[in-house]
Amino acid sequence: MSKCRNCKIEILDRTGVCPLCHCVVEQDGSEREVAYPDVGIREKRFALIIRIYVFLAVMAEALLVFINVNHHKGIWWSAITAGVFLYIYLIMKIGIQNDAGYRSKIILLTIFSVGLLFLIDEVAGYRGWSLNYVLPAGVIMLNVAIILLMIVNWRNWPSYLLFQLFCILCSIFPIILWKKDVITKPFLSEIALAVSIFLFLGTFIIGGSRARAELKRRFHV
């Protein structure tokens, strides 16, 4: 612990100068635990864990590909394991390590989850459940997440209007696939579109002037 005779304060950090007056401080020789964690050390440790995971995942996937090639029975299941390894890496990298906002994390992790399930459906022979059910369900889950976040962060609810517009765009995509005959069971896709639109309209109408001001600010109008 250090002491500044000029400012009459005690400094817990191991520093040679006072943070207020920048004068040289006196060391009293005592050791006290720092009041806040060393974030840099934690980040380095987690980065090391990620690198170790990548190495082990690459080795494991190479072995699984070798087994799949030599014992191929019509299904390239090693592609699924590769997708799972990649999915776990993305969760660690973006969901935990990355400093991006929670809204971006929710969107990206939802996209990755839908992508992984589509890969499983495709490798297993594609029966359409990934697009008929998983894709619109992902949009509905995004809307549910928005509602929960608005309840928790109710003082800042207008900031979720842009998020809601993004959900409307996402819910239009399954409808386009339906019109292109890619999606064969559009019921859940129609529900996803309806939920997205009604949530936005409800927030916009009930929000009144605050909602209009937020949209004007976002779109610079």
161-191, pLDDT tens digit by residue? 999 999 999 999 999 999 999 999 999 999 9
Residues 172 and 205 occupy one common structural domain: yes
Average pLDDT, the chain: 86
Residues 55 and 16 occupy one common structural domain: no
Q: Strand pairing partners for 27?
A: 2
Q: How far is CA 4 from the centre of its chain?
A: 45
Q: What's the domain range around 215?
A: 102-221
Across the beta sheet with 9-11, the strand order is 9-11, 2-4, 26-27
Question: What is the tally of structural domains in the chain?
Answer: 3
Residues 65 and 160 occupy one common structural domain: no
**Which of 99, 125, 144 is a domain's end point?**
99
Residues 123 and 91 occupy one common structural domain: no
Residues 11 and 73 occupy one common structural domain: no
Confidence check: pLDDT of 44 > 70: yes
Residues 216 and 118 occupy one common structural domain: yes
**Which of 78, 99, 120 is a domain's end point?**
99
Q: Which of 6-20, 24-38, 84-98, 108-122 has the lowest mean pLDDT?
A: 24-38
Residues 168 and 198 occupy one common structural domain: yes
What phi and psi, each to the nearest 5 degrees, are found at residue 166? -60, -40
Specify the pLDDT at position 133: 96
Place of tokens 């369900």: 137
Residues 55 and 28 occupy one common structural domain: no
Q: Which two tokens stand for residue 77?
A: 């299941």
Q: How far is CA 46 from the centre of its chain?
A: 17
Contact residues for 98 (Cβ-Cβ < 8 A; gap 6+)? 105
